[in-house]
Every structure is written in structure tokens, then in C-alpha cells.
Chains A and B, each alone.
Chain A
Amino acid sequence: MRHLMSPLDFSVQELDTLLNLAGDIQADPAKYAKICEGRKLATLFYEPSTRTRLSFEAAMMNMGGNVLGFSSADSSSAAKGESVSDTIRMISCYADICAMRHPKEGAPLVASMNSSIPVINAGDGGHQHPTQTITDLLTIRSLKGRLDNLTIGLCGDLKFGRTVHSLINALARYDNITFMLISPNELKIPDYIRTDVLEEKGIHFKEVERLEDVLSDLDILYMTRVQKERFFSEDEYIRMKDCYILNAEKMQLAREDMLVLHPLPRVNEISVEVDKDPRAVYFKQVQYGVYARMALILLLLEIKKW
């Protein structure tokens, strides 16, 4: 039995298998419409996340499976003080697979250590968000045709943005990747990503404060929200949130084939006028997210082989 805690849990070859399966699902969804009949997915969401939870639930329903779970800690036994270990032991009796989001980092790992069903980390604090990463990889590979030889701009909250950390870890395994890290000084990537991943692997990267300075170099621009819940003070949040806004004017600086991705939800970091630009693919990304999660569920349930 396998779990998914980090994008690095899967080898590059295994990720290829997963992305190929997702591609096949996209090409012929009807073939997979009943493949999970009689199976149940538990969505254990200790903090609100409509998008990721619904994506998992849609993925399971698309394959004829059922879903159960909770969408906030208040409506779970956690409110009564139940530990993650006890909750997963109980859920293991109800469901065949589970997706867990938790505000505390490492909570899904604790679950996986006590579970008799596969556990998927659906986001743990500012730590990891592997299914978003698989979604991002699937989007890039499907629309760019490759995952190597890319210059990727990551913009916004690079300090607390777990999607950014996971994506850097995942893309660092492909050849000839360059990262442009665009953030205010206060929200730079954590040291451990800089030293243990980028410097350790000799990956080319550049840290800049202005989006305009590197926009024309990018194959991919990955925008992130400056998340209010990651700040300790309201004042600090208000000061930083408008730093990096992508609008139609800035898009003129970008290449014609550059793609704009965003893990969503968007607040105001991408103006709505950009939505009409064919390079804006963040809503397609949502659809790819469902295919990626369908493929993941099939592989972890061992309905499909690695």
C-alpha cells in the first residue's frame, strides 16, 4: 500500500505513468465512468478548501465511486479533541482511500503511519500540497508538451506558498529547468528550498523583486495568492497583498507562448482582464486537477498498475 505525502514520493517514471493515465482519462472519460463503483473516498478536511475537496470528490464521482467526510475541524471529532491517529484508524473502517487536509504540518504523515488505507496529503499547513503539484505538472506537460527545458517564474508568496515549494521540488528533477523567483523580500522562498534543493542540485535560479524584470524570459508564469491566513498580522497582510498584480499591460511583455498558471483561488493578483488572454490557463488547470486526482486514486487503489 502506498500513500502520497510529497511529490517526491513518486519517481520521475512513476509520475510519467500517472500523467499518462491522466491523459488517457482526459481523452476518454467514459472508459473510466464506472471503474470505482463500490469504492469510497473519505475527504478529511480540517480546514476549509472548497476547491481541492470538490476536485477530489468530483474525481471519485466521475469514476462511479462514493465520497464521505467532513469539511472543517468543527464538524469532526477533532473538535472533541480526537487525535489524527485515532481519526484515521476509524476512517480506515469506513473508506477505501482518504484525502486529508490539515492546518498542521505533518498531520497527513501521522495519518499514513496509522492507516490501513492509502492516505493522500491534500495540503498540510505551509508544507506540502502534492496533488496541486501533480495538477501543475499535468497542465504544463499537456499544454507545453514537456517538463524539461523550461524557464519558470514563480511569483507572489514564495515563503508560505506550499504549492510553490512542492512545484520546485518536483520540477527540480527534470533537465535544464530555470527558476525565476519573484517576490518581495519578506516573502522569499525558505532557506531549505534554496540550499537543499536549488543549490544542492545546481539548479539555475534567480531571485528578483519585480515581475517586469523577468517576464519576457518565461515559458511559464506561476502566480500565487498572498494568503491572508498565513500572516500573523492584518497590517502586514494589507501592506503586501497588492505587490504583484498581473494585468493586460504586463502581459504585453510576455512571450506569445508563455502560460499563466495559478493554483486558485485568485484574489486580485491576476486582473480579470487577463482571463480572456489565451495564455491564461488557470481554469483549464482546474480541469486537469480532476484528471490528475482520478489517475492518482486509481493507482493508489491499485485498480491501475504503476
Chain B
Amino acid sequence: MDNSGGKSMLNVGKIENGFVLDHIQAGKSMSIYRDLQLGQLDCCVAIIKNAKSNKMGKKDIIKVECPVDIVNLDILGFIDHNITINIIRNGEITEKLTLRLPKEIRNVLKCKNPRCITSIEQELDQIFMLTDPEKEVYRCRYCEEKYTL
């Protein structure tokens, strides 16, 4: 973790076993909380907003006290590949995961094409496929419309 917050950083306590999402762009933590469906977890989740960062000026941090494999972190690669994931075991960082773009994103993004079948059949899974890893292009599985933020 970036310790640049020093004395002014709010202390939310150490995690014994879990993971920390660090270097989240300031203000993005709540949308990541929703995208990762962290609200459904029955464990301790801490969101730190606007923490000081030497690298970023301000950043958000999410600490989660549960095994990392319970959460589908693939989507993070799509949201922001600069986020770092620190795995904590026995209170220590034991591993740092690097993010990759997921091949498929399911039920996170919504197709904006008004002619897509998903626009009238709401129960369909919203599926986006990585069609160009270099340009980071995702397309709707059904209508092939490019996803734009």
C-alpha cells in the first residue's frame, strides 16, 4: 500500500487475511464496490476515499477481509488497469496481482445500442467480449456494438 498518507490518513485497521485494492482513481471506489458486488459479502469491507497519494495526489482504497477468489476481480482490468491488488495473509502483503483485461464481462456493462435484442429482453445476460486486446475494445456478444464509456 501507498503509505504517503502518513499521520493524516484515517486508520481503519489492518486486515489479517484478505485483499486491498489500492491506487483506485479518487471517487471511483463506490462504483467498484457496486461492480464487484461487495455489498453481497458477509465480511468486513472498508472504503477509504480521497486518501493522500504521492503518485496520484488523491486515491481511493478498498480493503476486504475475505479470500480474494470469492470476488470476480476480472472486471477491474476493464475499469482501470492501474489498480493494484495486494493479497494479505497473516497481516502481511504476500502477493501483488497484476490486472488483465477479461475476455468476457458479464452483467456489468449494458449495451447502449437501441437496436440490440437486450434492449427489449431484459432478462438476457449482458455479455461483452474482448475483441481487440491491444485497443481494449469490447463488443456486445449479441449485436457486436462497441462499448463506449
* A-B contact list, 15 entries, CB within 8 Å: A104-B117, A104-B120, A105-B115, A106-B140, A109-B117, A109-B141, A110-B121, A110-B142, A124-B117, A125-B115, A126-B115, A127-B144, A192-B139, A192-B146, A196-B137
Question: In the complex, are the beta carbons of A125 and B146 less than 8 A apart?
Answer: no
B118 interface residue per 8 A CB criterion: yes
Shortest beta-carbon distance, B2 to chain A, in Å? Answer: 38
**A 27-47 contacts with B by CB, 8 A:** none
A83 vs B120: C-alpha distance in the bound complex, in angstroms?
Answer: 9
Question: In the complex, are the beta carbons of A104 and B116 less than 8 A apart?
Answer: yes
CB-CB under 8 A for A109 and B142, given A83-B121, A196-B131: yes
Q: Which residues of B contact A119 (CB under 8 A)?
A: none
CB-CB under 8 A for A102 and B131, given A109-B141, A127-B144: no
A281 interface residue per 8 A CB criterion: no
Shortest beta-carbon distance, B111 to chain A, in Å? Answer: 9
Given contacts A84-B121, A103-B115, 20 further A-B contacts (CB under 8 A): A84-B117, A85-B121, A104-B116, A104-B119, A105-B115, A105-B116, A105-B142, A105-B143, A105-B144, A106-B116, A106-B117, A106-B140, A107-B142, A110-B117, A110-B124, A124-B117, A127-B115, A127-B143, A127-B144, A192-B146
Question: In the complex, are the beta carbons of B131 and A106 less than 8 A apart?
Answer: no
CB-CB under 8 A for A102 and B117, given A110-B142, A125-B143: yes
Quick one: closest B residue to A230, CB to CB?
B115
What is A's interface to B at a CB cutoff of 8 Å? 83-85, 102-107, 109-110, 124-127, 191-192, 196
Quick one: closest A residue to B139, CB to CB?
A192
Q: Which residues of A contact B118 (CB under 8 A)?
A: 106
Shortest beta-carbon distance, B69 to chain A, in Å? Answer: 28
Question: In the complex, are the beta carbons of A106 and B132 less than 8 A apart?
Answer: no
B113 interface residue per 8 A CB criterion: yes
Shortest beta-carbon distance, A73 to chain B, in Å? Answer: 11
Quick one: closest A residue to B146, CB to CB?
A192
B123 interface residue per 8 A CB criterion: yes
Quick one: closest B residue to A128, CB to CB?
B144
Question: In the complex, are the beta carbons of B117 and A105 less than 8 A apart?
Answer: yes
Question: In the complex, are the beta carbons of A83 and B140 less than 8 A apart?
Answer: no
A107 vs B124: C-alpha distance in the bound complex, in angstroms?
Answer: 11
Q: Which residues of B contact A191 (CB under 8 A)?
A: 146
Q: Which residues of A contact B121 (CB under 8 A)?
A: 83-85, 110
Q: Which residues of A contact B116 (CB under 8 A)?
A: 104-106
The 3 closest A-B CB pairs, nearest first, are: A106-B142, A105-B143, A104-B117
Q: Which residues of A contact B123 (CB under 8 A)?
A: 83
A263 vs B139: C-alpha distance in the bound complex, in angstroms?
Answer: 27
Quick one: closest B residue to A103, CB to CB?
B115
Shortest beta-carbon distance, B129 to chain A, in Å? Answer: 12
A196 vs B132: C-alpha distance in the bound complex, in angstroms?
Answer: 9
Question: In the complex, are the beta carbons of A106 and B146 less than 8 A apart?
Answer: no
A126 vs B113: C-alpha distance in the bound complex, in angstroms?
Answer: 11
Q: Which residues of A contact B144 (CB under 8 A)?
A: 105-106, 127, 192
Q: Which residues of A contact B146 (CB under 8 A)?
A: 191-192
A247 vs B50: C-alpha distance in the bound complex, in angstroms?
Answer: 67
Shortest beta-carbon distance, A84 to chain B, in Å? Answer: 7
Quick one: closest B residue to A160, CB to CB?
B115
Quick one: closest B residue to A105, CB to CB?
B143
Q: Which residues of A contact B119 (CB under 8 A)?
A: 104
A196 vs B140: C-alpha distance in the bound complex, in angstroms?
Answer: 15
Question: In the complex, are the beta carbons of B113 and A105 less than 8 A apart?
Answer: yes
Q: Which residues of A contact B113 (CB under 8 A)?
A: 105
Shortest beta-carbon distance, A153 to chain B, in Å? Answer: 25
Shortest beta-carbon distance, B72 to chain A, in Å? Answer: 22
Shortest beta-carbon distance, B101 to chain A, in Å? Answer: 17
Q: Which residues of A contact B124 (CB under 8 A)?
A: 110
Q: Which residues of B contact A85 (CB under 8 A)?
A: 121
Q: Which residues of B contact A103 (CB under 8 A)?
A: 115
